[in-house]
Structure formats: C-alpha cells, structure tokens
Structure 1
Amino acid sequence: MDKQVYVIGHKNPDTDSICSAIAYANLKNQISDKCYEAKRAGQVNNETKYVLEKFEVETPELIDDVGTQIRDVAIKKIDGIESGISLKKAWNMMKDTSNSTLPVTSDGKLEGIISVNDIATANMDIYETGILALSKTPYRNILDTLEGTMVVGDEEGYVEDGKILIGAANPDLMENYIEKNDILITGNRFESHLCAIEMNAGCIVVCMGAPVSKTIKKLAMQNNCRIISTPYETYVAARLINQSTPIRYFMRKENIVTFEEDDYISDMKETVTKIRYRDFPVLDTNGNYCGMLSRRSLINMNRKKIILVDHNEKSQAVDGIEEAEIMEIIDHHRIGNLETLAPVYFRNQPLGCTATIIYQMYLELGVELDKKIAGLLCSAILSDTLMFRSPTCTDLDKAAAEKLAQIAEVNIEEHAEKMFRAGSSLQDKSTEEIFYQDYKKFASNGIKFGAGQITSMDGEELAALKPKILPFMENACKSSSADMLFFMLTDVIHESTELLFVGEDARNIVERAFGVKPEESSIVMKNIVSRKKQVIPQLINAMQG
C-alpha cells in the first residue's frame, strides 16, 4: 500500500483527463520504484472510448471515492480460535500474542469474540458451582487446565451434570452433600474416594499427583466414575478448574460491532468513539473473518496516495479527496481551492491541454514515447483545443500534437474528425447522460453553479438537443445545491456556442458577462468555444461585480 499511487482526473472525465492519467502513470512507472496506476472518477464518454479503442488501451478502473478505508489500515492478522477451547488456553494465547481480544471462528465465519475483560469477569463473578455442567465443559479441557492425566475413564465426553465440591470433610458429612455426577476435588483420601464413588459422583480429581489405590480404580471403573490426577494442590486445583470452561459460554455473540474491509474510516469513527472496545473484527465482502482492527492502528492510517491531473479544484475532484494524500498536481486550469497536508509537486502551465504538459515531461526526463501513449496524448490535445480552434490553444499545444501524431502514425484532420463525430453521437444517450458527460462545478462569491458542454460537428444535432436539455436543467437546478446551471452547445465547424442557462439571477449574470440581453433562456455567441477561457471567467467576473 505504501508504494501504490493512483493517478486520476476529474469527475465526468473528458479525453484529456483520461489520457493524461494513463500517460502520466506510464511515465512515473518508468522513473520510479513505486507503482502508479491510472484511475477514473466517472464514466468515459464516447469520444474517449473511441480513442482508447483505436490505440488498444484498456479503460482505467473506476474509483468513486479515495477516502481512507479499513483495508488501508494495518489490520492485525489474528487467527480465529475455536469456541470449545478453555478460558485458560485463551488467556495464555492472549499473553503469548499480546492481544487483548481474540476472534472466535468456525469455517472462516465469526462466531464471537473473547476479551481479557470477559475472562476477568468469568473469574471474578462465577459463584455457580455447576458451571462446568452448564457450559458442557469437555473433559479434555479439564485435563489441559489442571495439567492432569485420566487415571480412570474416557478422556472424551463432556460434563453433563453435577457441581464442583471440595472433599475437605469426613466421609460421614460428605455423604450429605455429594450428589450424582458431582466432581469432587480431594487429596490422597481413600475414604473420600470411596464415599464419592458410592454416592455416584461423576469424577474425582486427586491432587498433588497422589497415588490412587487399585481398589478405588476398580470401583470407579465399575461405577462409571472418572478419576483425574493433577500435580496441583487442592486450593490451586479448585481455582483452576473453572478456567476449563469453554469460551463459548462467556464469549460475546450478540451485538458484536464488526466492519468490512471496504468501509470508510470517516463512516465508522462515530461508532468507534461511542464503543470503548480496543479491537474490532474485520470481515471481507463475503462475510469471512480476516483480521482485527485496533483503535491504535487508526492513528497510523495509510491514506491513499493520489496524483491529480487536469484539475485542482475540490468540487471537481473524486469524492474523499480531503482524506487522501495528494502527491502531485499536473494541470492547465486556474488555481482552485484544494488544500494539501504537505508541500507537493504542483505543475500548472497556461496551455490548452494537460497532455501538452505531460508530453513536455517525457521530453525533459528523456523517456521515449511509444505509439500508444503518443496517440493518447495527441488525441487529448486535439480534443481540448478543438483541433487548434480553441482560444486556449497555444503554439506549444499545436507543435506537441503534430509531433505526437507522427509518432502515433495518425493524420490529425482525419483522426480529429472521427473523434469528434464519435463524441457527438447522442443516439444511445439519455438527456441526463448528455448533460453530465462533460460537467464541472464551480463556486464564486457564495454562488454555486455548474457548467456542462457538448461539442459537435453537426449543427442540426445541437439544435435538436436544446428542447430536451432546457427542461432537464430546470429540474436538475431545483433538485441540486446549485444556484444556477449553464450548458454549452458548441458547433466545432462554425466555431460558435449557444449557451443555455437556468436558475435564479442566471439571466442577469449572462447579460453582465457577455453584454447581450437574452430573449429566452439562451444566447448564441460567435467565436466562443472554450468553457475554461471564454465562458467561466466571464461568468465569475459577472458574479463578483
């Protein structure tokens, strides 16, 4: 995890966002020992799909939230224990492993948990002399806890009935309180042994390793009375025997707080704060136990490491970005409002496309561009600059695209036309998909607004889209937190844009921004094709005026 870095563009990614992420991850992998992986923060549009398919590059995996998850935290790989083991054995395992909580599992599934507190409670609060029978304690547990040997009887089986007694009285008195199936703890007392057998005791525990006479052994065998020999003296044996109780009797089985590997830390913090457990079981997506999460491990979380390309504003970034560790930012937009935990490498140049910056970095670092990467970068530049028609396009963008086209062995005009036609094909898309396929959020002077754009080489297609988009925008504005929404219908061939707008005061903002009084909910603007350079700055100036 420490060496994994995600390279990711903005939400509703365009061709530049996707292609720049792929190209930059490829560059970093060639100059670093870390693992860089391109990701995407939204669905890929038709134009980008065409580009990826043409150059036979896989679509980056979607990641919709980069918040810290439990899988990013050091999960303790504590093996699950069986519910039948004794309290003493569980306690020894805790001491040996320095774990205060152990998971109890069966076939990989969590059955319960046992903690130091549970064992302490068992030792301090047990006054029930029939605890071994109530908990169906295996005789193997008793032998293990008392470090004993079975002198007479079968090691298998369970304590089904009876209570625990100390054989300290004389036989005449013992006859009055020994009952069938009781367990008698005693020393080397022939009379006590005989009395217990005659009263149908279930087991005699002989302390200090004292010898048992042949007569007692024979009688015990005839009366189905087990005899256990332990090296411990009576007081210690009496204290220890309750610790042979299986942990299933004391473990917590109900209302156990568990988390899944994919759970986000931000979602679980409140729960962890309210419940004062030291450790919490973690399950995988199939519900199988996979480890324990400690409170202390939350202090040393491994935040996801991220490189942002083609954006630097929080509103456009993937969800959970405030919890991630931003390593670098490569962008060509205005400086936004992202904050970082530490200084980062931030490269921002006034160019028409992020891909141009990444192309420069390949040259600066002396890394050779292969045909696929060159094709991706060239496509991104053509897309963002509308094949050099956008006012954001610089001589550097054009020169880079021409050089990359040579490496990729593509004709710029032919490739751009196919790209734009693929991108403007709206036949298989809903109105919502069209509106949000290239949509960005902004804020200025306390006003929240969003702006989408679609470019097409078919003016009739754009004209037919207008009556569908406007009603959708009205409803979207009412149901969202945006104060106003804008949408650009951009005609690449005629280098013009019809700007649609909805929302309170949107008409006045548009009039102030472009000096044109709208007749309805749109205006047509000649020589306007760039959202970044020609539309958003004008709208923000109007909002601040």
Structure 2
Amino acid sequence: MELPPIQHYDRPVFISGHRNPDVDSIMSAYALAALKHALGQKNVTPICPGILPDRAAWIFGHFKLQPPQCRNDVYLRIRDIMKTDFPHVTADLSLFDAVRKLKDTGVPAMPVVDADGKYEGTLSPFSLLSDLLNIGSEEGQSLTGRSIASSINMIRAVLDAESLTGESESDGKLRTFDVFVAAMSADFFDRHLNASMNHEPAIIVGDRPEIHLRVLQRPIKLLIITGNCPVESSVVELATFKKVTILRTACDSATVIRRLKFSCPVCSASLNRKVPVFSPDDMVREVRLQALAASEDVFPVCDHDGKLIGAVPQTAFSAPPPYSMILVDHNEVTQGIPGLEEIPVIEVVDHHRIGMKPTVEPIKFTADAVGSTCTLVAGMYRSAGLRPTKEIAGLLLCGLITDTLLYQSPTTTAQDRAIGAWLEKISGTTGSELMEGLMRIDSPLAVKTSLEVINADRKNYEENTYRFALSQVEENNLELLHRRRDELLKDMNGIIEREGLDFIALLVTDPVRGNSELLIAGAVPIIRALPYGKRSDGIFRLPGILSRKKQLLPQILAVTAAVPKTL
C-alpha cells in the first residue's frame, strides 16, 4: 500500500497528553510519536506532563521501552531561543580583530569574555563610537588621544608587519605607548619629542635614516617603519643592541596611525556593562518586555558562575516560538500542560468533547466518540498501512483497556473492541493479562498522599460561569476513601482556595465491581443538587458509573446549568 505523503514540520514538535496524565494519555502520545517517526518525521518528541504515574512506569518497564521525557511545563525559556554559537570575543583580543569580526559576522553587538569565559561586557559599534567621540587630551587613551595601551605582538598583527630585530618574550606584555609621527625636520621633531613624551614612545617614520638613528639615542621601545622602506643594517644592529623593536609594514603613516588605535585590547574599550544578562532558565514571558524595551540588540546568557553560554538577539523575543505542540486525549488549554497557551497547536487527537479555542491557522483534528485515544492512534497506524511494533502495540492496548476499564465502561464502542483484538495479536498478550498486572500496582489511596490522589488524573473545566475540577482514581478498596475522607476534603478545599475554583470532585472507581463513589468539596448548592444517593459521611454512591467523561461530567454540567451561581 502506498504511504500517505509525509508532513514535514519546520520546527521541533512535542506531543503531550493532559496534565495529571493517565495511562491512555501517556501511551497515545508515545505511540503517536512512534508513528510520526515511522512516517519520516524525526523532529517529534513525546512528553509526559509532570511525574510519570506508577502504572505508566510499570507498562514501559514491562515492554522494555524508555519512558518519555517528563516536563512540568512548556513555557519558553531563554535556553529555547538563545544561540549557543553566537559570535563573541575575548577581552585580550585586539579591537582591530574584534571590529573585523563584527563586520564579518554581521551581528549588531558581541559579548566579551575574560580568559575564564566569564562575561565582562558587550562590544558594539555604538560603544566604539563613544570612544571616538571622546576627544580627550593628547595624552589621553581615547581613540583620538596620543597614548595607546597595547603590546608589540598586537601592533605587529594589526599592522601586518615584520620584525627586523627579532622577537622577545616581553613582546606580549601590555604597555602604554605615546605615538609620534616623524613628519617634521629632525631638529624640530627632537624638540617636540622632548616636550611631549610621557610614556614609552612609539615612533612612526618612513624612509628617513637620520631620524632612525636619532630616535635610537632615546629610551624608546618601538620604531615603526612605514611603506616597507629600507632600513640600514647599522640601524637594525643598534636597535637590537638597545633592545628596541623595529617593525616594518607596507602601510603608510596615516593607515598606521588609524590601526594603532585599534591595536588596543577589547577590554580597553568602553564596553557596555549595563546590558541585561539572562539565565538559560529564565522564562521568556517574564523577561520579554524588559528585552523589547531595552536599547540593546543582543543579550548575553550566562550560567550560575557568570560564564557566557550563549546570547539572544532582541528579534528572538518577538519571533514565533521555536517549537509546536500536538495534543492527545484533550483539546482544552486549561487541561493541557502549563505553558500550552504560548505554543501553537498544530494537531489534536482526542475522544472528548471539543472545547478548544479557535486557532490562528487550520490544524489537523482527529476525533471520534470512542472509549480511548489509543483506539484513535491505533486506527491512524492502520490508515497509514503500518503495523505498530510489538512493544508499541502493547502500550496502545494498555491505554485502551485502562480507559475503557477492560471494555466495561459505557464509553466502550465496537471500534474499541476491534482495535483491542488487533493489538492483542500484534503484542502477543491479552488485555486481561495486562489489566491483571496493572491492578497489582499499589492502591493509590493506600500509598499516595491526598494531594497525589487528587492530582493524579485531574481535569479542570469552565462551564456555565463555574470553574471546577474533576479527578478520578481507580481503587479496589473503596473503604479507603472513607478512612481518608477528612484528609482529602482538607486538601480539596485548599485547592479551591488557591486556584479560585467553585468546587472540586474526586471520583473513586472500582473497575472490578463496576461501581464508583464521589467525594465533592465546594459550592453547597451544587452538592445539594446532585441526583446521587449519599452515605452518612457525605460521600455519594454512584452504582454502575465508571466514566468521568460520559457519565459524571454530563450530570455535573446539567447541574451547573440548572443552579445559577451565587456571588
């Protein structure tokens, strides 16, 4: 059979189930990612919101598969938009080389680091212009002053010069030179030198042998010969004897003067040290306004030791997110992993009611009234003419039997049973065998904290002006619910207060006996209007009710529609 055309994604894609995920949610995300990979879409990754549930961990261990990555949220962080290869320079690099790197890379600014990689400041054309406009005095070390802080090695490199007197270990030492150009008569230049010299002089001269010899009588350190002019051997010998470096360059005097100012190390420039510095863990939503309001174009990213690990261009804060989302087993943002509201959703595979907000662009939406999202994902394999691996078939079967309570839930359809039989053949196991293994996993009410029980499989809703949550756990011993009633109610009321809910309900289902019980906290009018029998401790009996989606939620929605919310 010819495979359907591959839909290539232009950015990484995460596949996620709802927060507080159940087995169906996790397995459908994992299996859908495997299908995408089989179709040639390699940049697709399944994730598990929060902590991997015990039953899901057992399933992955049983089929010897690596569980999906667990994430608490998908909020964009600086690490998601930063460039780890963003051009930067070291503080000891010459300004000449730094400016050339700025030009060659085309970046608006570059972070500067010290020898240990720690961020020191940012170099930009604006900061260089500030130096150029800082006229200063003749003795000043601004880009227009006479003095330069450089080394002979830097000067040699910037001038592309040759050393006529050899090299010494001290050539790399940073020192301050007063720069003079021998463009006047020898006598006048001699007097000028006497009056203006404060630091070691660096003399720039062309083809003037009389100047060569005369300046060597002074305590100079550097003689620069321009235009590749010849230098008499006696001059070289005297300079060598007096430990004066002679550099000869093809540049003319004007070029030498300009380049000498850029032979200074980057650390001598007026670096911008007020640029906001971000951590890779910073949430983009929390620093976006600061970045967009700043005058800087590039923001360094440093680790906890202050070492530069990347940079973020300002344009990245207004660019589309670097990844997209595929949702399985839910479609409402309020039920999704935190941060979902910031990420574009490109596809949904779900078997619940449609409650998602309109999307900006058309998306692929696969939905049907079946008992499990794994049923839909398995059907997508069949539609593509592919068979899942034995292991993936096992995952899909686990998701199917847990969501349909081994086909006992009223949400179960003929399609679920047919897909289940197909998956049993591929996986080499039966749903009953897998359910038996899953039921051996520790009782949630026996081993988990009350908050863990409430949040294990919880979904939030907003309907008829009410904000509420419905949680569900499977438990063979319903008596444990009554023993822990007060503890559970205390934490349920705490959630109501913290999250601004009107009420929260916990449906505890015994899949073996086909019954459930309901504990609810919050809005008293809603509790009074529920059409269920109540035990003396306030816990409702729900005989024959197994499905939150198909049996409990419709009843709750009917009650919220019939009971107006009071302020």
Relative to the length of structure 1, the TM-score reads 0.88
2:173 paired with 1:158: yes
Tell me the equivalent position of 1:43: 51
Q: Structure 1 residue aligned with 2:153, among 128, 140, 151?
A: 140
Could you list the per-position Cα deviations for residues 415-441 of structure 1 after superposition, in whole angstroms to 9, with x for gaps in the alignment?
324423426344432221111111111
2:550 equivalent among 519, 533, 538 = 533
Tell me by how many angstroms 1:331 deviates. Answer: 0.6
Query: Are 1:511 and 2:528 an aligned pair?
Result: yes
Secondary structure, aligned partner of 2:338: coil
Query: CA offset at residue 231 of structure 1?
Result: 3.7
Please say if 1:120 is aligned against 2:141.
no
Give the match for residue 8 of structure 1: 16
Deviation by residue 1:139-165 (Cα, 9 ceiling, x = unmatched): 122223333333446462435345223
C-alpha displacement of 1:16: 0.6
Shift of 1:501: 1.6
Q: Aligned partners of 1:54 and 1:418: how far apart in 2?
A: 9
Unaligned 5+ runs, structure 2: 1-8, 563-567
Q: Distance in 2 between matches of 1:342 and 1:510?
A: 41
CA–CA distance in 1 between the matches of 2:243 and 2:395? 84
CA drift at 1:413: 3.8
| 1:54 match | 62
Cα deviation, residue 126, structure 1: 5.0
1:268 aligns with 2:287: yes
Farther off after superposition, 492-501 or 327-336: 492-501
1:475 is aligned, of 494, 503, 526, to 494
Structure-2 separation of matches of 1:24 and 1:161: 67
Alignment RMSD (CA, Å): 3.2
What do the CA deviations read for 1:168-226 (whole angstroms, capped 9, x no partner)?
33434543334562223344445544553444233333444444445544544444443
Whole-angstrom CA distance in 2 between matches of 1:173 and 1:250: 29
Tell me how many residue pairs correspond in the alignment: 543
CA contact (8 A) 2:12 2:322 kept: no
**Match of residue 330, structure 2, among 289, 293, 311:** 311
Which stretch of structure 1 is more off in the superposition, 51-60 or 98-107? Answer: 98-107
Q: Following TM superposition, by how much is the alpha carbon of 1:348 offset from its aligned partner in structure 2, in angstroms?
A: 1.5
- Cα distance change on mapping 1:494 and 1:250 into 2, 3 Å: same
The separation in 1 between residues aligned to 2:444 and 2:12, in whole angstroms, is: 37
DSSP-derived class of the 2:58 partner:
helix
The reply to whether residue 372 of structure 1 matches residue 372 of structure 2 is: no
Report the Cα offset of residue 342 of structure 1. Answer: 1.4
2:442 and 2:401 mapped to 1: Cα distance?
Answer: 13
Match of 1:404? 423
User: Quick one: distance in 2 between partners of 1:46 and 1:490?
Assistant: 17
Q: Give the SS at the match of 2:73.
A: coil
Superposed displacement of residue 479, structure 1: 2.7
Shift of 1:358: 2.0
What does 1:93-104 correspond to in 2, within 5 Å?
A: 93-104=101-112
- Kindly provide the amino acid, as one letter, of the partner of residue 431 in structure 1: S
Cα distance change on mapping 1:177 and 1:249 into 2, 3 Å: closer
Which shows bigger deviation, 10-19 or 156-165?
156-165
Q: Is the 8 A contact 2:330 2:352 kept in 1?
A: yes
> For the Cα contact (< 8 Å) 1:307–1:326, is it kept in 2?
yes
Measured in 2, the distance between the counterparts of 1:388 and 1:448 equals 31
Q: Using the TM superposition, give the Cα deviation of residue 40 of structure 1 relative to its aligned residue in structure 2, in angstroms.
A: 0.8
Instruction: Give the partner amino acid of 2:127.
Output: D
Paired residues for 1:178-197 under 5 Å: 178=197, 181-189=200-208, 192-197=211-216
Alpha-carbon contact 1:454-1:490 (below 8 Å) kept: yes
Q: In 1, distance between residues paired with 2:174 and 2:69?
A: 57
Change (3 A) 1:395 1:122: same
In structure 2, how many angstroms separate the alpha carbons of the residues matched to 1:180 and 1:67?
57
Is the Cα contact below 8 Å between 1:261 and 1:285 reproduced in 2? no
CA contact (8 A) 1:6 1:307 kept: yes
Alpha-carbon distance between aligned partners in 2 of 1:465 and 1:395, rounded to the nearest angstrom: 38
- 8 Å CA contact retained: 2:292, 2:314: no
Separation in structure 1 between the aligned mates of residue 107 and residue 488 of structure 2, nearest angstrom = 60
The share of aligned pairs that are identical, in percent, is: 27
State the one-letter code of the partner of 2:73.
Answer: D
Amino acid at match of 1:140: N
Classify the secondary structure of the residue corresponding to 1:92.
helix
* Distance across 1 between alignment mates of 2:525 and 2:174: 86
One-letter code aligned to 1:537: P
How far the C-alpha of 1:290 sits from its partner, in A, is: 4.7
- Contact persistence 2:123–2:272 (CA under 8 A): no
Query: Could you tell which deviates more after superposition, 231-240 or 128-137?
Result: 128-137
Cα drift, residue 71 of structure 1: 4.8
Residue of structure 2 equivalent to 1:131: 141
**One-letter amino acid matched to 1:127:** G
- Give CA deviations for 1:372-417 in whole Å, capped at 9, x if unaligned: 2332222222211222332222233234334433443434445324
Distance 2:370 2:191 in 1: 104
Q: For residue 434 of structure 2, what is the aligned residue in structure 1?
A: 415
Q: Distance in 2 between matches of 1:469 and 1:251?
A: 62
Paired AA for residue 334 in structure 2? S
Change (3 A) 1:531 1:138: same
Runs (5+) with no aligned partner, structure 1: none
TM-score by length of structure 2 reads 0.85
- Contact kept, 8 Å, 2:163 with 2:246, in 1: the verdict is yes
Distance 2:43 2:233 in 1: 74
* Inter-partner Cα distance in structure 2 for 1:387 and 1:26: 24
* Partner Cα distance (1:428, 1:517) in 2: 26
Supply the distance in 2 between the matched residues of 1:355 and 1:202 (Cα, whole angstroms).
80
What aligned pairs does 1:417-436 form with structure 2 within 5 A after superposition?
Answer: 417-422=436-441, 424-436=443-455
For residue 247 of structure 1, report the CA deviation from its aligned partner. Answer: 1.1
Q: Distance in 2 between matches of 1:172 and 1:476?
A: 87
1:22 deviation in Å?
Answer: 1.8
Which shows bigger deviation, 283-292 or 166-175?
A: 283-292
Counterparts of 1:246-261 in structure 2, within 5 Å, are 246-250=265-269, 252=271, 254-261=273-280
Equivalent position to 2:34, from 22, 26, 38: 26
Instruction: Report the CA distance shift for 1:301/1:477 in structure 2 as closer, same or farther (over 3 A).
Output: closer
The answer to whether the 8 Å contact 2:389/2:426 transfers is yes
Secondary structure of the 2:362 match is: coil
Q: What's the secondary structure of 1:184's corresponding residue?
A: strand
2:262 aligned counterpart, secondary structure: helix
Using the alignment, how far apart are the partners of 2:307 and 2:415 within structure 1? 55
Deviation for aligned residue 1:52: 2.8
**What is the DSSP-based 3-state SS (H/G/I as helix, E as strand, rest coil) of the residue aligned with 1:182?**
strand
User: Does structure 2 retain, via aligned residues, the 8 Å contact 1:109–1:287?
Assistant: yes
Seen in structure 2, the aligned counterparts of structure 1 residues 151 and 372 have a Cα distance that, compared at 3 Å, is closer
Contact 1:5/1:35 (8 A) holds in 2 = yes
Match for residue 543 of structure 1 among 544, 547, 560? 560
Q: How far off is 1:115 after superposition?
A: 1.9
Secondary structure at the counterpart of residue 335 of structure 1: coil
Displacement of 1:542? 2.0
Match of 1:492 in 2: 511
